[in-house]
Amino acid sequence: MSMKLINNRYQIGGLDVIALCEKYGSPLYVYDTSKMKYQYNKMLNAFKEVNLKINFACKALGNINILRFFNNLGSGLDAVSIQEVQMGLKAGFNPKDIIFTPNCVSIEEIQEGASLGVKINIDNISILEQFGHLYGNAMPVCIRINPHILAGGNTKISTGHIDSKFGISIYQLPHVLRVVEANHMKVEGLHMHTGSDILDVEVFLRGTEIMLETAKNFHELDYIDFGSGFKVPYKPDDYFTDIDMLGKDLTRSFKKFCKTYGKDLTLIFEPGKFLVSEAGYLFARVNVIKQTLATVFAGLDTGLNHLIRPMFYDAYHQILNVSNPKGKPRIYTVVGYICETDTFGWNRKISEIHEGDYLVFLNAGAYCYTMSSNYNARLRPPEVMIYEGKDYLIRHRETLEDLLRNQVDVKL
């Protein structure tokens, strides 16, 4: 955790968090870029013996300043929609450093990506066939393979299982090869992404072995993209992917493969969570302490409209009381202000809460702001980026005008 307790006050990057809450108001998203850089370098270091390219998965955290930060680090971009591609280009990414990996989109959207010059990753045979018919060997492609390894505890975020809509089944390889040959297509890359929260390095390595075996069928490869899904700790003593161990094992098999393949291929990863989850914080204020017959609720000035992961994925986000760091621990059920059951956590031990205190949700960097909404006509919070000891407002708090912007009042 990059938030530190110094003299009974929490700081991020040397900045006092209560002061940040008072300056920008509550609720508030804060991102610590030094943690992102740390994670980026950790991954680089674990794979220093191969040609590694890291593509930040921008659906995790899409603010253009964050994208530019990763571009400056030397990262590429993993985009899953044409709008993410356009955001990446706006942030200054070279088109060749963007891989467009959409799922179940129209051929028109893929063509738009191709016209922008980004790398195209195709995840079904129908589109592969149409793309090959349109471009032949004039436009190289990457193919998303589903190796059917089962990773991740949650089927909502696992994409490698048999009923998954993602990727082309490894068992359809003969059909893929037929389409590629008939259209004289240049396959420059192979890709897998088996979902988020991979618990087991062994399982991941099994997937990579299947990919390397598959790669022998393609003779013009430049890269193999092993996707992502690395697990980060969400609570103290939580399990997380041992990236150094993965680095050691995968480097060995990748180098061996490159030798027999006769070419030094690029190994690509496209992490979202690994790079930004722990760098993000959501601060919120306690509106009410509400004692019912069976529990004590702490009701906040935020809800599932700002942080839906606990309700959507049963995700655990650690919650701390930054206004009273050393108070007596007491048991609370922390809930939001939405007219919907939006429980952030049951029976949490948190240092004694008073109305008006600021709480913080940890691991609020990935899939938090990007999954937020205006449900209940609530406004989205501002985003603040901490860079080299300074805070920068990178998104305004929304206003009523934002909610009304695209509504057409026909005044019947």
Ligand X SMILES: *Cc1c(COP(=O)(O)O)cnc(C)c1O
CA–CA distance, 302 with 183 (Å, rounded to integer):
53
278 near ligand X (CB under 6 A): no
For 347, residues 6+ apart whose C-beta sits below 8 A from its C-beta are 295, 331, 332, 333
270 near ligand X (CB under 6 A): yes
Please, what is the minimum distance in Å from the beta carbon of residue 166 to ligand X? 8
Please, what is the minimum distance in Å from the beta carbon of residue 202 to ligand X? 18
132 near ligand X (CB under 6 A): no
One of 26, 39, 196, 333 touching ligand X (CB under 6 A): 196
CA–CA distance, 145 with 339 (Å, rounded to integer):
41
Residue number with the shortest CB distance to ligand X? Answer: 272
Please, what is the minimum distance in Å from the beta carbon of residue 191 to ligand X? 8
Q: Binding segment for ligand X among 13-21, 40-48, 223-231, 375-383 (CB under 6 A)? A: 223-231
Q: Among residue numbers 89 through 118, which ones bind ligand X (CB under 6 A)?
A: 101
Please, what is the minimum distance in Å from the beta carbon of residue 125 to ligand X? 18
For 19, residues 6+ apart whose C-beta sits below 8 A from its C-beta are none
Q: Which is nearer to ligand X, 131 or 230 (CB)?
A: 230
78 near ligand X (CB under 6 A): yes
**Cα separation values, 227 from 56, 167, 178, 218, Å:** 10, 12, 25, 19
227 near ligand X (CB under 6 A): yes
Residue pair 187/137 in contact (Cβ under 8 Å)? The answer is: no
Two tokens, residue 375: 């449900």
The contacts found for 109-113 with CB under 8 angstroms, 24 or more apart, are 109/81, 109/82, 112/82, 113/82, 113/85
Q: Binding segment for ligand X among 36-44, 179-187, 224-232, 291-299 (CB under 6 A)? A: 224-232
CA–CA distance, 88 with 77 (Å, rounded to integer):
7
59 near ligand X (CB under 6 A): yes
Residues pairing with 335 in the sheet: 299, 343
Please, what is the minimum distance in Å from the beta carbon of residue 156 to ligand X? 12
Q: What is the CB neighbour count within 10 angstroms for residue 52?
A: 18
207 near ligand X (CB under 6 A): no
**Listed residue (207, 201, 282) closest to 245, CA to CA:** 201
Q: Which is nearer to ligand X, 305 or 363 (CB)?
A: 363
Please, what is the minimum distance in Å from the beta carbon of residue 193 to ligand X? 4
**Cα separation values, 410 from 271, 330, 363, Å:** 45, 52, 43
80 near ligand X (CB under 6 A): yes
Phi-psi region at 218: left, alpha or beta (left = phi > 0; alpha = psi -120 to 50): beta
One of 13, 88, 189, 229 touching ligand X (CB under 6 A): 229
Collapse the DSSP code of 258 into the 3-class scheme (helix H, G, I; strand E, B; otherwise coil) and give the result. Answer: helix
Q: Is 339 one of the catalytic residues?
A: yes
Q: Binding segment for ligand X among 235-243, 270-278, 337-345, 388-396 (CB under 6 A)? A: 270-278
Residue pair 77/90 in contact (Cβ under 8 Å)? The answer is: no
360 near ligand X (CB under 6 A): no
Please, what is the minimum distance in Å from the beta carbon of residue 55 to ligand X? 8
274 near ligand X (CB under 6 A): yes
280 near ligand X (CB under 6 A): no
359 near ligand X (CB under 6 A): no
Q: Which residues bind ligand X (CB under 6 A)?
A: 57, 59-60, 78, 80, 101, 193, 196, 227-230, 270-274, 366
Catalytic residues: 339
